[in-house]
Amino acid sequence: GELQGSVATATEAAEKLPTFKGGSLTVRGLGMAYGDLEVLKDIDLDVKAGTVTCVIGPSGSGKSTLLRCLNRLVEPKAGDVTIDGASILTMKPETLRRRVGMVFQQFNLFPDHTALENVMLALTKVKKMPQAEARRIAETRLADVGLASRMDHRPSSLSGGQQQRVAIARALAMAPEVILFDEVTSALDPELVKGVLNLMSDLGRRGMTMVVVTHEMGFARKVADQVVFMDEGRIVEAGTPDDIFERPRSPRLQRFLNEVL
Ligand code: ADP
Ligand code: MG
């Protein structure tokens, strides 16, 4: 009725995103090596459902490899990862792709497909969804991330920020329980960074479970429920943003913060 209509209008700008039902993630004794090079050593991590964990640390410390292990883009050499209690090591690849989404620095969109097609492809290929249903979901997700008017554009005619939103819409379209973000604003022009970070912050507020590798210390400080500092393949320190940024205990973290802040 009329009342409902006016309520919807009052909230529409700020409340565009739906709510999500993020899952929990646990990492136990995770190890990974490229040949002889040990890159992850005995990683333990707990990410509660609906929380945001930011992973920080110097280049080469193993942040990307950790994310890649969480959806088996690379195979862990030791340990286990569970999503809502289910081990990813015994999960079918399609199931894992659906439950754990990932967004990359370089967007990884198909250049010859429109934004809409890029989002639809994930649904029709991985989820084997009929075209019409895939289109409906893709349109909804693109509208959620503010791209309702850009759906028919190819990546080359979108800004970097818009391309990254397409990649986020594509991840969301799978209805994942966890989304992994690997330095997703590092390739963006400075003026486009904030919009993408705001979108990620909204996702976190709306219940998505997120693991975010980032150099954006302001984002980690403000948005993270948990911050993890990695160095040389290990988690050196983990805690709340206050623990990590205001009361860093290890000299390595203190040195790192001195360099980046
Ligand atoms: P970060 O994301 O923190 O910069 P990475 O996980 O990318 O760290 O890399 C961790 C270490 O693994 C680095 O020493 C890097 O050179 C090495 N490494 C990363 N990817 C590969 C690969 N495909 N083959 C061999 N070594 C790699
Ligand atoms: Mg990396």
Would you say the CB of residue 68 lies under 6 angstroms from ligand 1? Answer: no
Question: ipTM of the assembly?
Answer: 0.98
Q: What is the pLDDT of residue 126?
A: 86
Nearby residues for ligand 2 (ion, Cβ within 5 Å): 63-64
Q: What is the pLDDT of residue 9?
A: 35
Residues 45-60 pLDDT 10s: 999 999 999 999 999 9
User: If you take atom 15 of ligand 1, which residue's CA is the nearest one?
Assistant: 60
Q: Assess whether pLDDT exceeds 50 at residue 12.
A: no
User: If you take atom 27 of ligand 1, which residue's CA is the nearest one?
Assistant: 34
* Percent of the chain's residues with pLDDT above 70: 94
Q: Assess whether pLDDT exceeds 90 at residue 199.
A: yes
**Cβ atoms within 10 Å, residue 230:** 26
Q: Which residue has the higher pLDDT, 210 or 15?
A: 210
Residues 92-130 pLDDT 10s: 999 999 999 999 999 999 999 999 999 999 999 988 999
> What is the DSSP annotation of 146-185?
T-GGGTT--GGGS-HHHHHHHHHHHHHHT--SEEEEESTT
User: If you take atom 7 of ligand 1, which residue's CA is the nearest one?
Assistant: 64
**Cβ atoms within 10 Å, residue 98:** 18
DSSP letter assigned to residue 28: E
Measured in Å, residue 37 CA sits from the centre of ligand 2 at 16
Q: What is the pLDDT of residue 17?
A: 87
Distance of CA 110 to the CA centre of its chain: 19
Residues 53-96 pLDDT 10s: 999 999 999 999 999 999 999 999 999 999 999 999 999 999 99
Q: Assess whether pLDDT exceeds 50 at residue 144.
A: yes
Residue 67: HSE in the Cβ half-sphere, 13 Å Cα cutoff? 25
Q: What is the pLDDT of residue 226?
A: 98
Please give the Cα distance from 63 to 91 (Å, whole number): 23
- pTM comes to 0.94
